[in-house]
Amino acid sequence: MAFEQIKDSARSLITLGPARKDHWIGLRTAVGIFAPMIILLAINRMDLVIFAVFGAFTGVYGRVDGYWNRLRMQVRSGLLFFAVIALALAASNLWIDHANPEIKQWQIVGSTTLIAGACSVIAGFMRLRPTGSLFHIFAFAAIASIPNPAPAWQALLVAVLTIALAIGIGAAGAIGQWTNLWKRTSLPPLSDHVRTAIWWEGLFYILTAGVAGALANSLGSSLSAGHNYWAMVAAVVPLVGHTTKLRLHRGIHRVLGTLVGMILMMLVFLINPPVWMLLVLIGFFQFMAEMLVMRNYFMAQIFITPLALVGVSLGTGLSTAVMYDRIVETVIGSVVGICGVLLGSWFGGIMRKRVGIEPPNPKKAD
């Protein structure tokens, strides 16, 4: 049995799921993230890039058929991203003690943990796809960590314009297809079981992200690693999936994909291209990530790794220290996430027995 499980896990690394017009969403998100960055470079406002990047993540929420359905989902996701960015700016300016690194790290973990749970619940009730709060954790913690962010009105303006651009790109395909524009799919009401599951999932996001962040903080000094929120992001990755097996695979894929992605990142580091070329690479990595993320998370992670590292290095320059942090924090977070999945599976089994729900059929779910 153990050998079969290992064999199945190894096979999952090279198995591509069915294509679902992934090149279109890859192109939309690549343009949505590259265009605002190149404009900011042209006007010499690279301090605003981080707000453009997280606003552009609105484009990721476009994997839905029908232009009206896509518009509805992306408007909802854009509003949530704007709220998260605004809260992160407020936290950085009014609450986070940037002068005291130790206190700052625990403040980041505590506030990001609350965002993890709240955004998971909100995303669940908004019917957003992808589910969960992975992007919101990343956005809030990264912005809240900035000691001297750009003026709030400028940052929020860039975020709004980038969100609007992502929504506009998502709706651009409707040009010339006006007869199909208003076709929409009514969303069925959420059942009581689904509503309960959303709240429980929010709790597990809080527990998993919080434990990963606390562990990263506790081990960070001894391991000489920073960026504790990367551990929190990695921890919630396995929580997305229909079955325990798929969730465990995502945790394993996160670690292995990160390690392989470091090879690609090392090439970028050795070449040390100019900033405009780094922006081109970010667009390319974003395209490849969206091309693969629904088909094989391991392969997608190979491009997500340099995408994240190049993005956070735009203001400070490429360094091997950031690469080391990524590996350490990813391992910490993925281990916590996998443990969270196993705990959740055990807890879910108990709850299903209490309410008399049959466990899902793994063969059908896969």
Q: pLDDT tens digits, the chain, 366 residues: what are they?
A: 445 656 766 777 878 888 888 888 999 999 999 999 999 999 999 999 999 999 999 999 988 878 888 999 999 999 999 999 999 999 999 999 999 988 999 999 999 999 999 999 999 999 999 999 999 999 999 999 999 999 999 999 999 999 999 999 998 877 766 556 566 667 788 888 899 989 989 999 999 999 999 999 998 778 878 788 999 999 999 888 777 888 888 888 999 999 999 999 999 999 989 999 999 999 999 999 999 998 999 999 999 999 999 988 887 777 888 889 989 999 999 999 999 888 877 766 666 666 555 554 544 443
The answer to whether the CB of 213 falls within 8 A of the CB of 109 is: yes
End-to-end CA distance of the chain: 18
Distance CA 37, CA 281 (A): 12
Whole-angstrom Cα distance, residue 82 to residue 352?
A: 37
Task: Determine the distance from the C-alpha atom of residue 148 to the mean position of all C-alpha atoms in its chain, rounded to a whole number.
Answer: 24
Which residues make Cβ contacts (< 8 Å) with residue 21, sequence separation at least 6?
none
- Tally: H helices and E strands in the chain: 15, 0
**Mutual angle of helices 297-313 and 320-355, in 10-degree steps:** 130
Q: Is the pTM of this model over 0.85?
A: yes
Q: Which residues touch 342 (CB under 8 Å, ≥6 apart)? A: 244, 248
